[in-house]
Amino acid sequence: MNHIDLQNRHAVVTGGAQGFGLAIVDRMLASGAKVSMWDIDSLELETATTDRNRTIGVQCDVTDPDAIQAALAKSREAHGPVDILINNAGIAGPSLPVKDYPVSEWKRVIELDLNAVFYCAQAVVQEMMERNYGRIVSIASIAGKEGNPNASPYSAAKAGVIAFTKSLGKELASHNIAVNCITPAAAKTRIFDQISQEHIDYMLSKIPRNRFVTVEEVASMACWLSSEEMSFTTGGVFDISGGRATY
């Protein structure tokens, strides 16, 4: 494992108690960071923070701006100002065609997968600007580039994360704040529990490497994008789709 220097940096990882989020937490800890794990699931947080030094778990609904501010206060109290924000929390939503998609489910996916990215970024950018340093990394998806059938809100939300990344990256470029996103192919995380086997098979069939990405591979990219070495690129979209996307 290559060494990525995040020594004494404070990272907030949303959805940090499982899946991509927990793998990112572990790679950040191995790189020397202090980590605030935000997750809505208090039991998962309790398990995830056990035996992980330099971490705190904060129960937080990232679709609630007031809850974000409360979580941010707890995180700052424990670890100081936030240097790194990883927008990872998300859901897949049901696998259904648009004609059958419940409006309530559309709104639920958009609220967590897109709006919460805005809420969390808005909460930290002022402080990052004042300190003239920050790294914001959002976990988008290959679905945001190509659109997956029967996953319209998820695809739309992740496309929105890509566009938001480009916009915010330009806004903050003069403040030594790098804003980038990652577009992974699917991984075998608990998000698979939310989607049909037919949809899982469809996603695998599109990957030239003929396997799903691992959470450790996504964590490696996220941590490098969070490092001080990421000093020039901002508004970037970093592919990790096993060759599915070549643009």
Choice among 101, 133, 154, 247 that is catalytic? 154
Has residue 237 been placed in a domain? no
Q: Are 177 and 135 in contact (CB under 8 A)?
A: yes
Residue-wise pLDDT for 169-219, tens only, equals: 999 999 999 999 999 988 877 767 777 888 788 888 989 998 989 999 999
Task: Please tell me the pTM assigned to this model.
Answer: 0.95
Q: Is residue 87 part of a domain?
A: yes
119: annotated active-site residue = no
| Regions in the chain scoring below 70 on pLDDT | 191
- Asked whether residue 111 is domain-assigned, the answer is yes
- Write the CATH number for 127: 3.40.50.720
Q: Which range marks the domain in which residue 146 is found?
A: 10-232
Number of domains into which the chain is organized: 1
Q: Which segments of the chain does DSSP mark as H helices, in order?
A: 19-30, 42-49, 65-79, 103-110, 116-131, 143-146, 152-171, 197-205, 215-225
Residue 2 lies in a domain: no
